[in-house]
Structure 1
């Protein structure tokens, strides 16, 4: 009896530790879902879910161990029921159960499911019993194919995303932020431009404007001494030199009737 009691105590202590770890993980996950839902991403959610799954697996291993006592053969009985507030019970249950009264004992010491849940489970079991074995195998095979197809799509999308992210990370930059900011400041604010440079730009603009006005019909004529030919008269300013010699005669000399 003493050996069995020691094994029971050690098993209960290990179970309580695992249950506390599981409870802490579930509370942390609920806190993130309620308060950090804007910044919570899918990988962090999967990490929390994997942590909870790991605690459940450890708890199942402890319960299924050979040296662990069979808790199904044990019965929990209340030693004292009181409608008054119990501080020790409140501390042990972390403020959830203030009293251990007659109306709370059936709920907290229940060894079966609640009546509504039990009725729902019976309906599902009856529905599953009416399904033919071949039909169930076909449905299971089809469900497995669908899950495998979705898994392949998710893996392909992840590989494409990782390859695109790696390509973007290895691509050299095509611009310089400092030069771009300096260029924008020079264009919009004139920052970095000296007075000499502005005068050179203004003189270049004036020369281009004067060259465009030369020979324009109806426009302003260029004054003497400002054109590209120096101080030549206006009649000879735009006349191109000719290399062909011509002999112009009067019209009276070539009249056919004289």
Structure 2
């Protein structure tokens, strides 16, 4: 008897743990649907749905495990009903149930659907049983046609999307970010530009040394007179002779001459 009680407690602890995980994922999904419905996208919704599906699968594995106690053979009976507030019950139910009263017991310990839902289910089962085989096959064929049409639409949209993505990836790139940065640095800061062969600065027209020569000539001529300018031009026009000459005066004064 003690062994069965310990096995039941372990099974209940494992079930409660899985149920809490499932409850947390459902609460997170509800919060996103209520607060992030404008920015919530389809992949995020599918991820949350897959998480809930995983928790349900884990709960099913725990219930179908051989070590889990056979809960179907157990019955839950209310031992005490009270209309007063029970703090322990409030804590266990996360403030959803304040008292284990007579009006809550039928809903909390229900093992069958509600009478209205049970009546509607019985009506649907009766309609399905009275339907002929040909009518059922026609409805199945119509349903399959609708599903096939939706599947074709989804497949075409997926193919067009994949083709568009492949076309974007196959377009050759016509620009280089590194070359653009190098060009901007060369134009703005002169980075990477080589100096001219003369080593002098370049003017705005790209002629090396032209600006400096013009400035020096202009400055030299500005301080000269007209005669000096002609003399300088004459000296520049005459080529230097390679023959040395010694010119002597024709008349010399003798110191003892009378």
Q: TM tier, shorter chain?
A: 0.5 to 0.7
Structure 2 residue 85 is the aligned partner of structure 1 residue 88: no
- CA 1:137/1:65 → structure 2, altered by over 3 Å: closer, same or farther? farther
What SS does structure 2 have at the residue aligned with 1:117? helix
Deviation track 1:89-112 (CA, whole Å, cap 9, x = no partner) reads 111111111111121111111111
Q: How do residues 34-183 of structure 1 correspond to structure 2 at under 5 angstroms?
A: 34-172=34-172
How many residue pairs are counted as aligned between the two chains? 182
CA 89–134 in structure 1, closer or farther in 2 if over 3 Å, else same: same
Q: Could you say if the C-alpha distance between residues 148 and 67 of structure 1 is closer, same or farther in structure 2, counting changes exceeding 3 Å?
A: farther
- Hey, what's the Cα distance between the residues in 2 that align with 1:106 and 1:137? 41
For the residue of structure 1 that corresponds to 2:83, the secondary structure is: coil
Which stretch has the larger CA shift, 151-160 or 90-99?
A: 151-160
Alpha-carbon RMSD across the aligned residues, in angstroms, is 2.8
SS of structure 2 residue aligned to 1:95: coil
- For 2:254, the equivalent position in structure 1 comes to none
What is the CA-CA distance between 1:46 and the residue it aligns to?
1.6
1:216-231 to 2 correspondence within 5 Å?
A: none
- Counterpart-to-counterpart distance in 2, 1:131 and 1:103: 40
Query: Would the alpha carbon gap of residues 130 and 42 (structure 1) be closer, same or farther in structure 2, given more than 3 Å must change?
Result: same
Distance in 1, Cα, partners of 2:80 & 2:54: 37
Q: Determine the structure 2 residue equivalent to 1:10.
A: 10
Name whichever of 141-150 and 19-28 sits farther off: 141-150
Say if 1:41 and 1:117 are closer, same or farther in 2 by CA, change over 3 A: same
CA distance, structure 1, for counterparts of residue 172 and residue 143 of structure 2: 46
Looking at structure 2, the residues matched to 63 and 131 of structure 1 have their Cα atoms a distance apart, in angstroms, of 37
Matches within 5 A, 1:201-212: none
| Larger Rg over CA atoms | 2
* Shift of residue 175, structure 1, vs aligned partner: 7.9
**TM-score if structure 2 supplies the norm length?**
0.61
Matched residue SS, 1:97:
coil
Structure 1: any 5+ residue segments left out of the alignment? 183-195, 197-258
- Per-residue CA shift, 1:45-81, capped at 9, x if unaligned? 1221222222222222322333433322211112222
The 2-side partners of 1:61 and 1:84 are apart by 38
Cα separation, 1, equivalents of 2:26 and 2:101: 28
Change (3 A) 1:58 1:134: farther
TM-score computed with the length of structure 1 as normaliser: 0.61
CA distance in 1, matches of 2:137, 2:52: 31
Please give the secondary structure, in 2, of the residue aligned with 1:66.
coil
